């Protein structure tokens, strides 16, 4: 069965090969229609270019005008701000801008025993020590309060027991007194 199919396949391929040979030998002529391309003169090209350049120039001019307006507004705002800063009155006690700058530019470190340490670090350290002491004293006060509360509870229980014992003695005493009076 495979022989028959192979022979048929080879037959079909040879037929196709012959047809392709015939097609390749023929000259195929395709006619392309000729179109009339209009010719444009140099003056017309120049007029179109001038018109496009004019439109582009108007667009650029409008952007330039908008940018110029924004720059002028920004410049006016900066000048007003500068005038306001210059018009700020200095205090009458002689403090000037230079003295404030000198105070702010001073060294922010201090010599502490073995070396230099920042003032803010020193202040934070002191505050941490202070916070630790406060927490310690608070814990001690809480412990003392718990001890006092425990003693108060113990005293209340003891007083209650003594009152019960005292009451029981009174009742025993009154019973014995009644027996003595009745005899």
Cβ-proximal residues to 117 (8 Å cutoff; 6+ apart), any chain: 109, 110
For the stretch 89-120, pLDDT in tens is 656 666 777 777 777 766 677 776 777 778 78
The tens digit of pLDDT for each residue in 40-62 reads 888 888 888 888 888 888 888 88
Please list the alpha-helical segments (H only) found in the chain. 2-25, 42-87, 97-104, 119-182
Q: Which residue is listed with tokens 């006016």?
A: 76
Task: Using the Cα atoms of residue 147, residue 151, residue 153 and residue 154 in order, give the sign of their dihedral.
Answer: positive
Mapped onto helix, strand or coil, the DSSP state of residue 16 is: helix
Confidence label for 177 from pLDDT (cuts 50, 70 and 90): low
Q: 64 versus 173: which is more confidently predicted? A: 64
Arithmetic mean of pLDDT, 7-19:
82
> What are the Cα distances from residue 2, in Å, to 7, 8, 9, 13, 82?
9, 10, 10, 16, 101
Residue in the block written with tokens 């924004």 = 70
Using a pLDDT cut of 70, give the percent of the chain over it. Answer: 83
User: Which run of H or of E encompasses 117?
Assistant: strand 115-118
Residue 127 is predicted with a pLDDT of: 93
Asked whether residue 180 carries a pLDDT value surpassing 50, the answer given is: yes
Q: Give the model confidence (pLDDT) of 161-171 as tens digits.
A: 999 988 888 88
Question: Tokens standing for 24?
Answer: 């390749």
Contacts of residue 43, defined as CB under 8 A and 6 or more positions apart, other chains included, come to none
Give the number of other CB atoms < 10 A from CB of residue 121: 13
Give 38's DSSP letter.
Answer: P
Supply φ then ψ for residue 111, to 5 degrees: -85, 125
Domain range summary for the chain, segments of one domain joined by + = 44-88
Are 107 and 120 in contact by the 8 Å Cβ rule? The answer is: no
């Amino acid at each position: 069965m495979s022989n028959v199919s192979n022979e048929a396949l080879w037959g079909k391929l040879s037929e196709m090969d012959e047809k392709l040979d015939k097609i390749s030998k023929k000259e195929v002529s395709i006619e392309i229609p000729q179109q009339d391309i209009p010719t444009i003169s140099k003056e017309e090209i120049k007029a179109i270019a001038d018109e496009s350049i004019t439109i582009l120039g108007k667009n650029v001019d409008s952007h330039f005008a908008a940018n110029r307006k924004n720059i002028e507004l920004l410049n006016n705002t900066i000048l007003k701000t500068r005038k306001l800063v210059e018009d700020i009155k200095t205090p009458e006690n002689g403090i000037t801008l230079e003295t404030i700058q000198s105070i702010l530019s001073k060294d922010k470190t201090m010599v502490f025993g073995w070396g230099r340490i920042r003032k803010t670090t020193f202040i934070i350290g002191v505050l941490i020590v202070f916070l630790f002491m406060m927490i310690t004293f608070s814990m001690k006060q809480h412990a003392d309060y718990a001890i006092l509360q425990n003693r108060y509870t113990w005293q209340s229980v003891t007083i209650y027991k003594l009152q019960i014992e005292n009451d029981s003695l009174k009742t025993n005493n009154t019973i014995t007194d009644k027996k003595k009076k009745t005899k």
